[in-house]
Amino acid sequence: MRASRLSSAAVALTSALILSACGGRAADSTVLRESFDSGDTFSRTVDGRPGDACEAARRTLLSQGYAIARSDDAQVEGNKNFQPREDDHEQLVLRISCAPRGSQTLVFVSAVQDRYALKKSPTSASVGVGALGSVSLPFGSNDDSLVKVASSTVTDAEFYRRFFQRLQQYLPAAAGKSAPSPSPSPSPSPAAVPEPAPAVTDQG
């Protein structure tokens, strides 16, 4: 009887350890996906100063309909709203940082996609009925609100590739790539000296 109890306790302890281990792996799955590899999905090195790069990023966002929430020589933030369905709302927020890297600039960008759902808030109105007190009647509410239901960082490499490709179009031309100066015009050739007229002899 005692051996049976010990066996049951051992089984229960083993099951608890297995469940705990599984739960730990599930909780750490997001962390384990962060490899910190050497890919350049979220960053690029561009020519020019940080101020020029951030200004190019600001113009890139403006050209695509983003509202600029912040902009200076080091950071730019913009957002754009979407409504894929009647009761759903999405917002894409882009944050760009510009850091010096020698004579160039390292541009970092991160996009966060927030999803909102319409939450209906029914209210009731009280109608007085004299001595009987009041009766609550459900009326349509104007207090509906959007509630955030999800938020995630965009990791699509193609999305960022298109962003940086567009940003390149707004960077100022590099000094070495400026239009060549016009070549000096050739000096005019010296005017021809006229030949002296032949002397007239007197035959009379």
Proportion of the chain above pLDDT 70, given as a percent:
58
pLDDT per residue as tens digits for the range 107-139: 999 999 999 998 876 655 555 555 545 555 555
Nearest to 170 by CA among 70, 53, 44, 40: 53
How does pLDDT run across 149-160, given as a tens digit for each residue? 999 999 999 999
Query: Mean pLDDT across the stretch 167-178?
Result: 74
Beta bridge partners of 113: 92, 152
Looking at residue 135, what is its pLDDT?
53
- Position 7 scores a pLDDT of 56
Please indicate, yes or no, whether the overall pTM of this predicted structure exceeds 0.75: no
pLDDT at 43 over 50: yes
Q: Which of the given ranges, 88-92, 120-124, 200-204, has the highest pLDDT on average?
A: 88-92
**pLDDT score at 177:** 52
Burial of 177 per CB tally in 10 Å (0-12, 13-18, 19+)? exposed
82 Cβ contact list (under 8 Å, min separation 6): 89, 90, 91, 92
